[in-house]
Amino acid sequence: MQFKKLTFLLILIILVVTGCDSKKETVVKEQTKFQISSQLAPQLTLEKNDIGIDFKELKGKVILLNFFATWCPPCKAEIPHLIRLKDKYKDNFEIVALNMGEENGTLSPQEKVNAFINDYMINYHVSNSKENFKISDIMGNVRVIPTMFLFDTTGKIVQKYVGIVPEEMMETDIKKALGI
């Protein structure tokens, strides 16, 4: 019994001594402002703030931030729904699609993304940039695609979608975000 107490005490002391470190840690400030290169529009500036995300060039609009990949079947299946929603709410609604690259984790060749945009007749912003991976991390380390975030007109996240989502559900949420 005495041996167990001594052993426990010794292990506890070792953990405390080795677990405490007097080295000063370096804190890296998270980048909060991003430039997105968009295939179908000028560059977009996104800035994270206390409320959510400030989409500088798209102020006052409801924004759907869509993390997708060109090789992802559910991502491809949702494109017609996104196109219809963009057409229907064109004055007050924008979609910003962020390509998450190839299956091996590398950035997609721009020619491949351009062909994808043309093949699917995409009518919304599409970005193919290393910045997309950083934005993914800031949004909570997006690892499942498709993942989408719906922002109201103030830049506050009002809905998160993981996986394919019915068009009617997105439309209901867009209307709520627009106040109609």
User: How far is the C-alpha of 66 from the C-alpha of 97, rounded, in Å?
Assistant: 4
Q: What is the pLDDT, as a whole number, of residue 52?
A: 59
Q: What is the pLDDT, as a whole number, of residue 180?
A: 87
The 3-class SS string of the chain reads CHHHHHHHHHHHHHHHHHHCCCCCCCCCCCCCEEEECECCCCCEEEEECCCCEEEHHHCCCEEEEEEECCCCHHHHHHHHHHHHHHHHCCCCEEEEEEECCCCCCCCCCHHHHHHHHHHCCCCCEEECCCHHHHHHHHCCCCCCCCEEEEECCCCCEEEEEECCCCHHHHHHHHHHHHCC
Q: What is the pLDDT, as a whole number, of residue 9?
A: 47
What string of pLDDT tens digits covers the 180 residues of the chain? 565 555 544 444 443 333 333 333 323 334 455 556 555 555 566 666 665 566 667 778 899 999 999 999 999 999 999 999 999 999 999 999 999 999 998 999 999 999 999 999 999 989 898 888 888 888 888 889 999 999 988 888 899 999 999 999 999 999 999 998
Q: What is the pLDDT, as a whole number, of residue 130?
A: 87
Q: What is the pLDDT, as a whole number, of residue 18?
A: 33
Q: What is the pLDDT, as a whole number, of residue 67?
A: 94
Q: What is the pLDDT, as a whole number, of residue 14?
A: 45
Strand partners, 151: 63, 157
Q: Which domains does the chain have, with CATH numbers?
A: 35-178 (3.40.30.10)
